[in-house]
């Protein structure tokens, strides 16, 4: 059995576990609001951001000086004692770093191009900042680790797959501890890219809403310490699939999503009746919500409470999988009520197959949570977390 011994996170809900837990319970997200300067040709966009100051990256790591890595340091600071203890116990060569990202230092690269095209100096720019592998390379260097360190970039399933990969390294005997997670930062390129695909909502996203128009992009980071040492929450199972149906649209019958969820259940030796809550991918795009509703309806009927938390964090892209797994960990460790879908601003889509979407908060009755991440290209990952027996 692989356990989750520590979790650190920052997102639009807050900058600490206490703050995030309180705001998740209250259904408020201070970092979700309109921001200017991100959309070309439009004055502003609703985006989810991490508020407040972030840790400084010193000159010794100037090649890694990005907001993405600052978010990682903010998450790491919350669990640094546990990470240091683990390193001291097993050795620096027995700790892996596996992260997921979609943007890395893309925004710093965008700023460098802007400055260059305008004839301005760009003294802080260094090429490694925008490399997708940089987050793991940076964190391994920051912690002076000698074990495996790599980054996965499979769009919105990136950090969910990082969790699965870290587990796999431990089970293979290659390491004893895996520091897994991910980070993604607000950047003009994905914001405008999703807008060009007509997938960016002009208002705060409306998961499973009748008039939903697309996603709200957010930024976040979360880190988990995976270990064989018993802890209160276990990584019970995981499933992965890649249906490769379309570069951006999900499979019309949800075949890849069904395989990922079924594989996770089989891996954990559980049935649909054992699940207490499903954190839905729930992006608020017309296709995603319709197909995920159908998949959950077919596998679970209406008997499992479920909701999407993306109206509280934004869609954090490569960080979404670990962010939502971290929220699930909070629910399990703090006995938080389940977050309902907020239909106070809009009407639910009654044309969707019924699948247990929560309209009000309820207690978690069974201590097992399924968290779904479905990405572009049909790249799917489902993770099962539960209170340790």
d(C-alpha 385, C-alpha 236), whole Å:
5
Least confident of 53-57, 107-111, 299-303, 325-329: 107-111
User: What is the pTM for the complete model shown?
Assistant: 0.96
Exposure string for 307-318, b = 16+ CB within 10 A, e = fewer: bbbbbbbbbbbb
Question: What average pLDDT does the structure give for the chain?
Answer: 95
Supply the pLDDT for residue 92: 97
Under the banding of pLDDT at 50, 70 and 90, the label for residue 379 is confident
pLDDT at 248 over 90: no
Supply the pLDDT for residue 155: 86
The reply to whether 156 belongs to the active site is yes
Supply the pLDDT for residue 252: 73
Give how far Cα 92 sits from Cα of 63, 76, 83, 310, Å: 22, 17, 11, 36
The reply to whether 281 belongs to the active site is yes
Over residues 350-355, mean pLDDT: 95
Under the banding of pLDDT at 50, 70 and 90, the label for residue 247 is low
Pick the catalytic residue: 64, 251, 311, 315? 315
Supply the pLDDT for residue 329: 98
pLDDT at 354 over 70: yes
d(C-alpha 386, C-alpha 389), whole Å:
9
Mapped onto helix, strand or coil, the DSSP state of residue 352 is coil
Exposure string for 87-106, b = 16+ CB within 10 A, e = fewer: beebeeebbbbbbbbbbbbb
Selection from 124-128, 247-251, 384-388 with the highest mean pLDDT = 384-388
The span from the first CA to the last CA of the chain, in angstroms, equals 10
Mapped onto helix, strand or coil, the DSSP state of residue 163 is helix
Over residues 326-337, mean pLDDT: 98
pLDDT digits 0-9 by tens, 252-298: 777 889 999 999 999 999 999 999 999 999 999 998 999 999 999 99
Pick the catalytic residue: 156, 205, 306, 355? 156
Question: Which residues make Cβ contacts (< 8 Å) with residue 222, sequence separation at least 6?
Answer: 7, 8, 9, 10, 11, 75, 159, 181, 182, 183, 319, 322, 323, 325, 326
Supply the pLDDT for residue 255: 85
The reply to whether 246 belongs to the active site is no
Domain ranges for the chain? 2-387
CATH topology of domain 2-387: Peroxisomal Thiolase; Chain A, domain 1 (3.40.47)
pLDDT at 121 over 70: yes
Helix, strand, coil tally for the chain in percent (to 5): 40, 20, 40
pLDDT digits 0-9 by tens, 4-34: 999 999 999 999 999 999 999 999 999 999 9
Pick the catalytic residue: 281, 306, 311, 355? 281
Least confident of 33-37, 114-118, 221-225, 358-362: 114-118
pLDDT digits 0-9 by tens, 154-176: 989 999 999 999 999 999 999 99
Least confident of 42-46, 59-63, 91-95: 42-46
d(C-alpha 32, C-alpha 11), whole Å:
10
Under the banding of pLDDT at 50, 70 and 90, the label for residue 316 is very high
Torsion of CA 134, 135, 139, 145, to 10 degrees: -60
d(C-alpha 124, C-alpha 112), whole Å:
9
């Amino acid at each position: 059995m692989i356990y989750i011994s520590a979790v650190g996170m920052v997102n639009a809900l807050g900058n600490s576990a206490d703050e995030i837990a309180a705001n998740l319970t209250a259904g408020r997200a201070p970092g979700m609001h309109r921001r200017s300067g991100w959309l070309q040709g439009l004055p502003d966009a609703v985006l989810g951001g991490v508020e407040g100051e972030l840790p400084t990256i010193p000159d010794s790591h100037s090649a890694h000086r990005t907001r993405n890595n600052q978010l990682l340091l903010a998450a790491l600071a919350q669990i640094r004692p546990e990470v240091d203890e683990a390193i001291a116990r097993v050795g620096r060569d027995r700790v892996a770093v596996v992260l997921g990202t979609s943007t890395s230092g893309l925004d710093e690269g965008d700023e460098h191009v802007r400055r260059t095209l305008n004839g301005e100096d760009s003294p802080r720019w260094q090429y490694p900042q925008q490399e997708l592998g940089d987050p793991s390379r940076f964190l391994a260097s920051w912690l002076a680790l000698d074990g495996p360190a790599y980054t996965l970039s499979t769009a919105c399933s990136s950090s969910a797959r990082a969790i699965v990969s870290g587990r796999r390294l431990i089970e293979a005997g290659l390491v004893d501890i895996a520091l897994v997670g991910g980070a993604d930062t607000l950047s003009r390129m994905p914001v405008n890219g999703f807008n060009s695909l007509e997938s960016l909502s002009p208002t705060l996203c409306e998961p499973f809403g009748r008039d939903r128009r697309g996603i709200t992009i957010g930024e976040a980071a979360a880190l988990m310490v995976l270990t064989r040492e018993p802890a209160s929450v276990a990584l019970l199972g995981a499933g992965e699939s890649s249906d490769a149906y379309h570069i951006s649209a999900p499979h019309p019958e949800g075949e890849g999503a069904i395989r990922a969820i079924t594989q996770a259940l089989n891996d954990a030796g559980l049935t649909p009746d054992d699940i207490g809550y499903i954190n839905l991918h729930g992006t608020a795009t017309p296709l995603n919500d319709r197909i995920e509703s159908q998949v959950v309806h077919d596998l679970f009927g209406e008997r499992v409470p479920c909701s999407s938390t993306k109206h509280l964090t934004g869609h954090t892209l490569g960080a979404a999988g670990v962010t939502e797994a971290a929220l699930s960990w909070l629910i399990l460790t703090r006995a938080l009520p389940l977050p309902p879908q907020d239909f106070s601003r809009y009407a639910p889509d009654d044309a969707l197959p019924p699948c247990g979407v929560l309209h009000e908060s309820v207690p978690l009755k069974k201590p097992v949570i399924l968290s779904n991440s479905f990405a572009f290209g049909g790249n799917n990952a489902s993770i099962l977390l539960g209170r340790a027996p």
